[in-house]
Structure 1
Amino acid sequence: MARQPAKTLWYDRPRYVFLEFCVEDSTDVKVDIDDHRVVFSCKNADGVEMYNEINLYTRVNSKDSQQKRSDRSITCFIRKWKEKVAWPRLTKENIKPVWLFVDFDNWRDWEGDEEAEMAMAEQYAELLQKVTVKGTPPAMDDLDDDI
């Protein structure tokens, strides 16, 4: 029986790259994560062998990476060697396999988050400064005393 690749979703975070191998009711799951590669294999509910081999974009910390199996998929948490460095793609090769997809439900452009937060903090500080600067009180001599 021939093996086939599992549909795979991925997304990037500052410390980790997340992979999700979409195989329902998987058995015989094996995930080998080394510093430059991930090898995944299992059998699906129909007994078909699923197999993916991914040469990663850059080095990872395989000792601090792990995976979790659920009824619907196998998720890998792969620790980046260099944190806070965005990955433009998952694979070392600049070719996207047909079974690999970006997980847009979990994707966030975190790379510019710090700059945006700093800009918002500066804007807030300026607003506070404008509010707390007290000028001369308004003249109230035009008010009637007959009230």
Structure 2
Amino acid sequence: MAMLPKNLPRPEECQGAQTLWYDKKKYVAINFMVQNPKDVEVDIQDTYIVLSCKDVDDNNMYNHIYFYDKVMKFDSQVKIYDRSIHILIRKVKENVAWPRLQKDANLKPNWMAVDFENWRDWANEEDEGMAEYEQYVEVSVTLTNRLMSMFEGLHILRSVTLIHGFPFQMIQDIGSKKGAPPAMDDLDDLVSTARIYLQLT
């Protein structure tokens, strides 16, 4: 049995965050659905990913996933939003479809599912660049949160891009701005604290 990562041990009491994933030509996209995530920690390695955080009710959320195939741990991105943690990881083998996210085909956790809304057949598509994909994610999430704020009075967008260090870098809290729910032509940026580990194996 493989050992759990030393960086992020499993809490005694925890539950798996609902996980939606989809395949792309060069990347694998993962969305951990957590309401108002905090104390977010992510451990990305060549063969697995670990997420540890707390939700709005202070429940410990913990996910440990061994990938179907190897990834480039230093070419990945983590963004934190009001209702999800979005992770984009580059494949080692580009243009090779992943039939599943997990390596073991017999493991079928009830918290994992395919994101069919974003899944599409990319066999005949042109290569997609990171910049274009980032823009797509930002626009989609921003528009969704704007609509939600109109009905729920929620702050629009809480997002932070984690820049990976070598061998690892801790992203410190750099402050936040709070206020009344913004108008449609304004954004209230809330910057979250997160830690990401990319230790050498």
TM-score normalised by length of structure 1: 0.75
Counterpart of 1:138 in structure 2 is none
| 2:70 aligned residue | 59
Alignment partner for residue 96 of structure 2, among 85, 95, 103? 85
SS at match of 1:24: coil
Shift of 1:111: 2.4
Tell me the residue number matched to 1:122.
none
Name structure 2 gaps, 5 residues minimum: 1-11, 127-201
Q: Distance in 1 between matches of 2:115 and 2:88?
A: 14
- Coordinate RMSD, CA, aligned: 1.2
Residue by residue over 1:64-84, the C-alpha shift from the partner in whole angstroms, topping out at 9 and shown as x without a partner, is 011100011000001100111
The match for 2:109 is 97
Report the Cα distance in structure 2 between the residues aligned to 1:106 and 1:40, rounded to whole angstroms: 22
Q: Which residue number in structure 2 is paired with residue 3 of structure 1?
A: 14
Quote the residue 1:106 is aligned against: 118
Structure 1 segments (4+ residues) deviating >4 Å? none
Q: CA deviation at 1:96?
A: 1.9
- Structure label with greater radius of gyration: 1
Tell which has more relative contact order, 1 or 2 (C-alpha 8 A, sep 6+): 1
Q: Please state if 1:38 is matched with 2:55.
A: no
Q: Which residue does 1:139 correspond to in 2?
A: none
- The aligned amino acid for 2:49 is V
* Distance apart, 1:97 and its partner CA: 1.2
Residue identity matched to 1:39: V
Q: When the two structures are aligned, how many residues end up with a matched partner?
A: 114
More strand by share: 1
Bigger shift: residues 95-104 or 5-14: 95-104
1:48 to 56, 59, 62: 59
Residues 107-146 of structure 1 aligned to structure 2 (within 5 Å): 107-113=119-125
For structure 1, the 5+ residue unaligned runs are 115-147
> CA offset at residue 112 of structure 1?
4.6
Matched, 1:17 2:28: yes
Q: Distance in 2 between matches of 1:112 and 1:103?
A: 20
Cα deviation digits, residues 73-109 of structure 1 (max 9, x gap): 0000011001111001000000221110100110001
Using the aligned pairs only, state the percent identity.
53
